[in-house]
Structure formats: C-alpha cells, structure tokens
Chain A
C-alpha cells in the first residue's frame, strides 16, 4: 500500500473536477496545493473545504460531516465514498488526491450530480410500510427481537448514492434497473414482519430489468460507507422471485 501516514503530509496536490454549465467549456480537472496541518488526520471533506477557501466557486454538497446524512458521496481517487468519513491517510497517494463527482449521473456543477434518477428508482419500490395488520395509535405493531434483527443491515441506508453509481448495471439502465440502493430499500420492507405487501412488492419487481440486471459484480458492497450489503439483499429478492415463479 502506498497510503501515506497523515503526519508525513505537508502539501497535498488536490485535483478537483470542475464544470460550470453556464460557461462554454468542457469539464476539466483543476489542481490546488493545500497545506495540510500535520497533527491530525483530516477527512477528504475537510480538504475540500480548505480548497473552497482558496476558490469559493467550487461546489459540493455537505451537511452532517459525520457520515449519516449522505450528502457528500464523491468519487475519491477512483473509488466512491463519503468525503466526511474518508481519512486522507486512507486515500491520498504520493500526496496526491483526485476528486470527481459520482459517476453515471448527470453533473449539475463541479462535484454536484443530479440525483433525480436515483431518487425516482427509490420511490418506485414503495419505500414505506404497507400493512393490513391492525394499526392503532395506542400501541405498537408487535415485533420480536429476532424479527427486528432481520432489518439490521437494511434500514441504515443513508441514500448517498455511492452504491448505485458504482454499479455498471445501473450505468447502462438507470431507468429500468432499480439499482442496489432502491433494491436494498425494497428488501428492507419485504423483510419487515410488520409489512404485509410482499406479494405486491415481488410482483412489481418481476421483470427482466428491475432486479435481474444485477450480475453480482458487488461494487455496491465494496463502496458502501455504512458497510451494508445490497448484493445479499438483491440475492434474497431473486430467490423469492424464483421460488414464486416455480
């Protein structure tokens, strides 16, 4: 590994993807030299903010800066991840770092992509509880500890888009293949003991594209900043669909 310990980094050559739709220019990479304080391991987002102090026109999204809001999904030295929880020491190579927008989605400006396609796919899976169980605002729908544990690894998705935009199947068919994030969400409700719409959900997924364009490439798993496993969830859906067809 060429990863360099933070204490050795002094000046970082940061290369940022720039694009302004109102200027008649092609996108280009702009270099910045950033002085990095040596006593602590900065995150990629910290470095972007230092660059923005040099050039306030650099645009990127950020909010919680602690890896839970999902704003700052970025392509960092070629791999998708969240800027705010990716330490420089993990990704900077020979004091160089290159940051591009998430691949596969239209770029609005600089590091900001248009998430519409991603969100539309999410909405398609009816990402909400559908139940014919007795719903009463005076008590909870019962669920055992074991039933609830089935949601672990599913409900924690932060919709950052790192997985779907790392997925070649999503790149080719972003309108027809739902992508790992939306499918993880679909399985989150299928797996919920309180949800009674499994049949309806599976029926909606039963075509050649929605689920079956997943070829188990597993880029989604390798980039998920929350350590989730969409491929596994998709596998579960596939199994259910196959069983249903028999």
Chain B
C-alpha cells in the first residue's frame, strides 16, 4: 500500500476500502446511541473514534440529564420543559425539535436506566432529580422545578459507560483510535463515506457507507480557557464545512459560569441546584440583583454575564480581583460529599479547597457550542438552496454537540445536552434503519472525488517546510479568547476576523516534521488544527454578522434583542464566507408555538 509514513502522496487507486452499512464518526453519547440503534437492527455498523470510546467528552458531564420523567414531581409536564427550553434559547430554538426532544425524552431515559445506568434514587426507589438553571413549573408561573436526572455528579460518566457496555453487548464494531479526515462526496452531492486512518499503524482507508453520522462533539478548544477536553476540536464541523456544507448559529457559544479559576475545569450547575450560590469580594450574593426570581439558577448566559459585570466593576475576588466565589460550605459535608463527590475531588485537585469548608474560586469558561451542523429531527444534515429553502444532504447525518437541530438556540439549559445526545443520536439511528429498509441507492464516488477528500491528509503528509502548527493553534486560541468572549463589539470582532483569516492562511502551509506512521499524535494534532480554524472562522464571521444581543451572543454596540431582523438562524458557508439567514421553526405539532417575550429570570 501507499506508505504515508515516508511522506508518499496518496491517491484513490491505491487506497484500501472498507465498506459498512453505517459509519458513526465519534464515540461519545450521541454516536454510541446511534450505533446502538443500528447494531441492534443487525446493520453492519462501525464507530470511528479518535479515542477509545469511554475517553469521549460526554464522560465529563456532571450534573445530569433534564427530562420530565415525573419522579421528583408527579405533575411535571414535558410541555413545561419545552417552554423553559424555548425561553432559554432566547426564542431561536426550533420548536418542532424542542417538542420532539422533550416529549421523546422520558422514553430514552428509561431505556438507559433499563440498560443499567446507575441513577441516584429517591425514597420511593425512583430516579433522583435535582434543580437546575432555567427550570420552571407551569410555564414559568409555578416556581423552580427539579427536573434533572442525576447519577450523583457523574452522570456523563455513568451514561457513557452504560452506552459503551450496551454496544459491547450488541456487538458494535469499534474502529477505536482511528482519525476521520474528510468526507467523501460523489458528483450528486451525496456523502458516501469518509477518509480515515488507523492511528496505531498510520494506514489510511476509504470507509465507504451509505449513511455517515457526524457525532464528533464540540470545539471548545478554539478558546484558550475552556471546560472542554483536549480532543474537542470540532472535527465533524470542519469536515462538513470543507465539504461545502453550512453551519448554523456558530456565534452562539455558551460560557459556563462555574469554571475553576486558573484551570477551566467545570464544577456542575448542580452545585447551585443543591443550594450553593455565588458571592463577590464583599460576600454579597450578587445574583439576587441580576435575577431576583431565579437568582443563581437563572440561565447560564445571564449568570456568566453577571459574574463578568461584577469582575469588571471591581467586585471580583482574589489578589487580581478576577474571579468570584461559589459557596457550598453552608450545605454541610454530608450533602457536599454525598451529592457532589466529583466536584469535591476536582475542587481539591485544581483549586486546592474542600468545598465543604471553603468557597471555590470560579470564572466563566467556554463550555458548549449551541451552533453546529444544521439538521432536522431525524439527524439529516440540511444545506440551503440558493433561494434560501432547505436542502437535505443524502447520506449525511449529524447528532449531539456537533449538530444544530436546533434545540438550544441562543443558549442551552443545563442538563439539556445529554438529553439532546440520546434523543437525537437515537432518532438518527432510527432514520438510517428505516432508510435501509426502504432501500438506498447511491452512485460510487469517482477517483477524483476520493482524491479531493485526500487533499488535506496529503498536504500534511508531504509538507517539507512551513508553519509550526502548535504556534498557529496557540495564536488562534488567543485571538478567539480576546475578541469573541462573553462581551463583544464590532471593533474587537473585526480585528479578530482579520487575525483568524491570517491564521487560516498560515494553516494552509503547516509543516509536519515527524512523518512517522505509527501512533503519530503530531499528525492528528496538525489535522485537528484545520478543523479548529474552520470552526473559529465560522464563529468569528457569524458573530460579527448578528447585529443584536441574544442568548449567549452579547454585543455592547447592539445591546438589545432585535426580533424584527434576527429572530433567525445564521447560516454560514466556508467557501463564500457569507452569512445568510434561516427561519426558526415555530410549528410544533402538538402544542401552540411559544411566542417571543422579554426574557427575564
């Protein structure tokens, strides 16, 4: 075969092919939910994951999975959850998708429990649910709800391991420690698989399939300070953009209020759900001023902005007045250590405090991409026709954080990401299963199509000189942090766009000095940079284009929400670098649509 190890140029004629019914790129929650569905239906499925599946970032989710399973409150209603989610999204979440998620959620939760997920329990032997931000009863009129199902504060770990175990049982085929580089498209704009290489041997393959699911998770690593794992580099998003498909609402990045100061690692919103609260240097519980009703459990965008306002106005804590405190010590060691054991561990490790005794120093940290690859509720990827109408891409699906279905709109509620993963991972699996039963016909790609998808791998493999990709990545993270943080202005963003554009030029000329084939992690990192660049540029340009403040996107030069012009999704294409608009769905099937109101907490 072609030895990429010596920098040989790869082409379609020598590239080995492996064929599967379905390929899932990504072994986190949504990927393994989709693969489980396919494996159970007897399809020949492969999960392509750059890490062993249980190393995926779903494992870090702490607080829980929000769903109206009527355990804490027998009268709870999925419509109340839907209302909260629509309001949380600042009204640009698609209401058909939110309805589907909230309504289908309970079944998915019970399915997971039946698979063995070790949820914490109530006195009645039911699944334990705790309070989380932005949750209400009776459409915001009935006070704080407790709707987040939890396995202590290790819900993501419990979920991911349970899904891995269920996939082991179902016989899913794992291509573990394989890196997917680019999508392969045929001449009809259909996706027919991916180019990927086995990291251990360095051997590249064309993985051919009639259904490819991008379940590659987030891309928080475009920022300097993030809660995200080192692997969260937006690989699927980069692949989709390079293949000519759009991304949606990429300006919407959630900054989680309680990142551990100096490290970025999270402590869960469940800390505040269990009764913790934030204080400034004067010991004042400042959220009472910003959100008189919900206080510390206002939604994340509101809390993060309030924290930064405290810091900017000189009421921050510590010698540099650059963070605030999360107080838990009043809850007593029993609650802190029993309900929040993981937080206790992280806080001792990274902040050197036992939260049962001392407050944790916290500052908002980049956490979650509300935007991503646009899909419908079946996970089918959507592009846009020239006249602005939706166009479904054959053969390509996306689910989880990589996707934008869009249930989170401008701001995601805590506990909704795990629900998103399992509900839409499953729905993508179901749709693929049904499509296979109905029969899928697709043309094979030409050798030119395959060669085109090999171009980036080839470029990196044969590079003889050029930019240091580690430096380019650092500069990218710095400019994103400086210019596209919690508070944004046109001046900063224009500067940021220029810098990102320069870094993109550099990224086209990166040099991989080490050409060895076996477990060459430098090659993986070089290719990841190309994905980070795509995501960062999409974020930068979309952010500057949205001339309003909504959800997580907060502009000092346009401080108000502008429903007249921007009750819309933004759609961005990488090849034209243009942003267009797409209608938000206001057509749920079983309830009346929730109309935009002023969003207060």
Q: Is the C-beta of B350 less than 8 angstroms from some C-beta in chain A?
A: yes
Q: Is the C-beta of B283 less than 8 angstroms from some C-beta in chain A?
A: no
Q: Is the C-beta of A117 less than 8 angstroms from some C-beta in chain B?
A: no
Given contacts A63-B230, A192-B118, contact A140 B166 (CB under 8 A): no
Contact between A155 and B118, CB atoms less than 8 A apart: yes
Q: Is the C-beta of A24 less than 8 angstroms from some C-beta in chain B?
A: no
Contact between A70 and B54, CB atoms less than 8 A apart: yes
Selected interface stretch from B133-141, B397-405, B499-507, B517-525: B517-525
Selected interface stretch from A121-129, A163-171, A200-208, A215-223: A121-129
Q: How many Å lie between the Cα of A170 and that of B533 in the bound state?
A: 45
Contact between A142 and B230, CB atoms less than 8 A apart: no
- The A92-130 residues at the B interface (CB cut-off 8 A) are 108-110, 112, 115, 119, 123, 126-129
Query: Looking across the interface, which residue of chain A has its beta carbon closest to that of B170?
Result: A128
Query: Looking across the interface, which residue of chain A has its beta carbon closest to that of B106?
Result: A138
Q: How many Å lie between the Cα of A53 and that of B468 in the bound state?
A: 10
Contact between B113 and A66, CB atoms less than 8 A apart: no
Contact between B516 and A137, CB atoms less than 8 A apart: no
Contact between A69 and B55, CB atoms less than 8 A apart: yes
Partner of B110, one of A41, A71, A137: A137
User: Considering only CB atoms and an 8 Å cut-off, how many residues of chain B contact the other chain?
Assistant: 60
Contact between B514 and A123, CB atoms less than 8 A apart: no
Selected interface stretch from A27-35, A144-152, A230-238: A144-152
Q: How many Å lie between the Cα of A123 and that of B170 in the bound state?
A: 12
Selected interface stretch from A9-17, A54-62, A172-180: A54-62
Chain B residues contacting A57 (CB-CB under 8 Å) are 514, 516, 520, 522
Contact between A66 and B265, CB atoms less than 8 A apart: yes
Min Cβ gap B550→A in Å is 31
Contact between A66 and B346, CB atoms less than 8 A apart: yes
Chain B residues contacting A144 (CB-CB under 8 Å) are 121, 125
Contact between B200 and A108, CB atoms less than 8 A apart: yes
Q: How many Å lie between the Cα of A159 and that of B52 in the bound state?
A: 10
Given contacts A139-B110, A155-B158, contact A69 B229 (CB under 8 A): yes
Q: How many Å lie between the Cα of A194 and that of B519 in the bound state?
A: 41
Chain A residues contacting B520 (CB-CB under 8 Å) are 57, 59
Partner of A108, one of B110, B350, B519: B519
Question: Would you give the 0/1 interface string for B45-64, flagging 1 where the beta carbon is closer than 8 Å to chain A?
Answer: 00000011011110110000
Min Cβ gap A141→B in Å is 6
Given contacts A68-B60, A112-B519, A128-B116, contact A63 B55 (CB under 8 A): yes
Contact between B514 and A56, CB atoms less than 8 A apart: yes
Min Cβ gap A32→B in Å is 16
Contact between B125 and A143, CB atoms less than 8 A apart: yes
Contact between B59 and A69, CB atoms less than 8 A apart: yes
Partner of A156, one of B107, B110, B114, B157: B157
Query: Looking across the interface, which residue of chain A has its beta carbon closest to that of B109?
Result: A140
Chain B residues contacting A158 (CB-CB under 8 Å) are 54, 59, 157
Chain A residues contacting B55 (CB-CB under 8 Å) are 61, 63-64, 69-71
Partner of A129, one of B116, B229, B516, B517: B116
Q: Is the C-beta of A21 less than 8 angstroms from some C-beta in chain B?
A: yes
Q: How many Å lie between the Cα of A139 and that of B168 in the bound state?
A: 24
Contact between A142 and B346, CB atoms less than 8 A apart: no
Q: Is the C-beta of B123 less than 8 angstroms from some C-beta in chain A?
A: yes
Contact between A135 and B121, CB atoms less than 8 A apart: no
Given contacts A53-B470, A61-B51, A108-B518, contact A66 B60 (CB under 8 A): yes
Chain A residues contacting B114 (CB-CB under 8 Å) are 129, 131, 135-137, 140-141
Chain A residues contacting B514 (CB-CB under 8 Å) are 56-57
Could you tell me the dominant secondary structure of chain A's interface residues? loop
Partner of A85, one of B111, B119, B123, B349: B349
Min Cβ gap A170→B in Å is 19
Question: Would you give the 0/1 interface string for B540-575, flagging 1 where the beta carbon is closer than 8 Å to chain A?
Answer: 000000000000000000000000000000000000
Min Cβ gap A146→B in Å is 9
Q: Is the C-beta of A67 less than 8 angstroms from some C-beta in chain B?
A: yes
Query: Looking across the interface, which residue of chain B has its beta carbon closest to that of A140?
Result: B113
Residue among A20, A127, A147 with the most chain B CB within 10 A?
A127
Chain B residues contacting A152 (CB-CB under 8 Å) are 152
Q: How many Å lie between the Cα of A37 and that of B110 in the bound state?
A: 49
Q: Is the C-beta of B377 less than 8 angstroms from some C-beta in chain A?
A: no
Residue among B126, B352, B518 with the most chain A CB within 10 A?
B518
- The B98-148 residues at the A interface (CB cut-off 8 A) are 106-107, 110-111, 113-116, 118-123, 125-127
Contact between B57 and A63, CB atoms less than 8 A apart: yes
Q: Is the C-beta of B87 less than 8 angstroms from some C-beta in chain A?
A: no
Query: Looking across the interface, which residue of chain A has its beta carbon closest to that of B262?
Result: A40
Question: Would you give the 0/1 interface string for A60-98, flagging 1 where the beta carbon is closer than 8 Å to chain B?
Answer: 111111111111000000000000010100000000000
Q: How many Å lie between the Cα of A137 and that of B158 in the bound state?
A: 19
Contact between A128 and B166, CB atoms less than 8 A apart: yes
Closest 6 pairs (CB-CB, A-B): A129-B116, A142-B125, A128-B165, A69-B55, A109-B519, A56-B522
Q: Which residues of A contact B (CB under 8 A)?
A: 20-22, 40-41, 53, 56-57, 59-71, 85, 87, 108-110, 112, 115, 119, 123, 126-129, 131, 135-145, 147-148, 151-152, 155-159, 189, 192, 194-195
Q: List 28 A-B contacts (CB under 8 A).
A: A20-B518, A40-B262, A53-B470, A56-B522, A57-B514, A60-B521, A63-B229, A63-B231, A65-B230, A66-B60, A67-B346, A67-B349, A69-B57, A71-B55, A109-B519, A128-B169, A136-B114, A137-B107, A137-B110, A138-B110, A139-B110, A140-B71, A141-B114, A142-B125, A158-B59, A158-B157, A192-B116, A195-B116
